[in-house]
Amino acid sequence: MLNLLPRETRTFRAVHALDLPTDWQAPDDVIWIELISPERHEEAVIESALRLDLPTSREMAQIEPSSRLYMEGGATFMTASLLSRSEEEHPVLTPVTFVLTNGRLITLRYEPLRAFSAFSQRLSGPDYAEAAGADLFLDLLDAVIERLAEVLERGSARVQASSNAIFDRPRGAAFEPLLTSLARTQSLAALARTSLASLARLASFAALAPEIAGKPTAQAHLVSVQQDIQSLTEHAAAQSAHISFLLDAA
């Protein structure tokens, strides 16, 4: 799927790559190009129009920082592992690539992400009337971090409920359902910590992007993002320690 976000309307417009001519160029007012599980021909159209070489899904899954964070052809490429399907039985980490180039944001992903859909609904407001790609990128990072905070808060509530149940039950009571719930919450917290570590590396590298390095307000925003990531990382670590204690106690 290929979505274009013009600055004037700030509403995504779905485009079928097969309908685009081979010499198609992105309109000047498009500030966000979103590719969701794109076919190869959709990637090729964007690559040709923007003169970029987008990473493949296999390249996005690489864990080496040199493969995930780099500058090429005047563009800044940043890939992070984000938490997807957190409310389902089997949550996953999925690589998501962010590209800043010529005032535009390009995102490439292969899983549904609630942070993206929630953020896109805010764009019609007046705050984004003059937004550029870097502004969208920073606020999208905020939305991703907010989503992780919600996941961890829900996990904390489940852990507290399990703690009350464990210590209020008589000796010899069956703990299997509680242990299963705690184990799943522990797994989700571990995925969140991995995602936060990935986001921390991305945020550090983003400071080098020309669209951010040259703007004091963007730099200050990025510092705030890094502080939020650190705070949530500590929260996730404390939650994991609490779960380990409860598992031992049970």
Inform me whether the pLDDT recorded for 173 exceeds 70: no
Inform me whether the pLDDT recorded for 163 exceeds 90: no
**Model confidence pLDDT, tens digit, residues 110-146:** 999 999 999 998 888 787 888 899 999 999 999 999 9
Average confidence (pLDDT) over 4-12: 87
Q: How far is CA 22 from CA 3, 45, 106, in A?
A: 18, 7, 19
Share of the chain above pLDDT 70, in %: 97
CA–CA gap between residue 77 and residue 70 (Å, rounded): 5
Q: Which residue has the higher pLDDT, 146 or 51?
A: 146
Kindly indicate the confidence band of residue 213, based on its pLDDT and cuts at 50, 70 and 90: very high
Residues contacting residue 43 through CB under 8 Å, at least 6 positions apart: 35, 54
Closest CA to 113 of 150, 78, 77: 150
The structure's pTM equals: 0.89
- Mean per-residue pLDDT over the chain, rounded: 89
Q: Which amino acid, residue 133?
A: G
**Contact call for residues 107 and 118 (beta carbons, < 8 A):** no
CA–CA gap between residue 33 and residue 43 (Å, rounded): 11
pLDDT at 174: 64
pLDDT at 64: 79
pLDDT at 144: 97
Closest CA to 180 of 202, 162, 153: 162
**CATH numbers and ranges of domains, the chain:** 2-249 (3.30.460.20)
